Structure 1
Amino acid sequence: MLKDKDSAAIVAVSDIARAKGFYADTLGLDLVHGDDNMLIFKTGATQLVVYVSDYAGTNQANAVVWGLGDEIEAIAAVLREKGVRFEHYPHMGMDYTGGVHSSGDFRAVWLKDPDGNILHLNNM
């Protein structure tokens, strides 16, 4: 039924103009559609839908995940240079250097968009 259909991530925001700046300029996503209530960005082979909602930023779990492979440290460095602040989760018991959590071969970065939505980057 759905296994052969495309899907997209969707994130609620309170300010569409601010979200456009963050997702397009800071994260470098390509905007493919936009209006006063919704933005659609191309991200790899999928899409990220950003829409205005009174419930923006209330999710306390990962909203979107990107698999970056071996580029994770380089991309984290670029984001850090753009002023992105990374989350640090010491309770996870992972090493933490330059915003990147690591354990064995696994590496991950967590950051928040301007509404507090949690975005996850990893090397998988």
Structure 2
Amino acid sequence: MLTDRNSSAIVAVKDVDRARTFYRDTLGLAIVADTEGVLTLRTGTTFLNVYRSDEAGTNCANAVVWDCGEAFDAIVAELKSRGVAFEDYGTMDGMKFDGDAYRTDGFAAAWFKDPDGNILHINSGM
């Protein structure tokens, strides 16, 4: 699912064990290293690092974005089946909220949060 998608990010969490379950089991990312409270997960050709911080979840902007291309709708459906709740941010300039995603002329985007409230974003291509 997201294993083939490119990202480049570091995400702070309050509970590394809870994050391990979410990022590995819910998002389907492979853990390539788990040392001293830092998880390194493969995502596409890059890695996502997850570490413990008391400041976790305080960012009100995107923490990670994945370009899902034509697999966007299938990935949204799979994430939803795994219990992911997608965000509805109301009106977005030029985009219409349709189901779990925002859409406009051949582009789609969806946002969801990890257990610490970090905002994660997937889209159908840049």
TM-score by length of 1: 0.91
Please tell me whether the aligned partners of residues 60 and 119 of structure 2 are also in contact (alpha carbons under 8 angstroms).
yes
Any idea what the Cα deviations from partners look like across 1:67-87, whole Å, max 9, x if unmatched? 000111100001101110000
1:118 aligns with 2:114: no
* Residues matched between the structures, number: 118
Structure 1 residue 90, shift from structure 2 partner: 1.4
1:91 aligns with 2:91: yes
TM-score by length of 2: 0.89
1:82 aligns with 2:82: yes
Moved over 4 A (4+): none
Counterpart Cα distance in 1 of 2:106 and 2:89: 18
Structure 1 residue 36, shift from structure 2 partner: 4.4
Aligned to 1:66: 66
2:106 counterpart letter in structure 1: D
- In the TM superposition, what are the counterparts of 1:15-30 in structure 2 within 5 Å? 15-30=15-30
Any idea what the Cα deviations from partners look like across 1:31-74, whole Å, max 9, x if unmatched? 00013411000000000000000100000000000000011110
Q: Which runs of 5+ in 2 are unaligned?
A: 1-6
Q: Which runs of 5+ in 1 are unaligned?
A: 1-6
Please tell me whether the aligned partners of residues 18 and 114 of structure 1 are also in contact (alpha carbons under 8 angstroms).
yes
Structure 1 residue 18, shift from structure 2 partner: 0.3
1:108 aligns with 2:102: no
SS of residue in 1 equivalent to 2:19: helix
Structure 1 residue 91, shift from structure 2 partner: 2.4
Identity percentage of aligned residues? 53
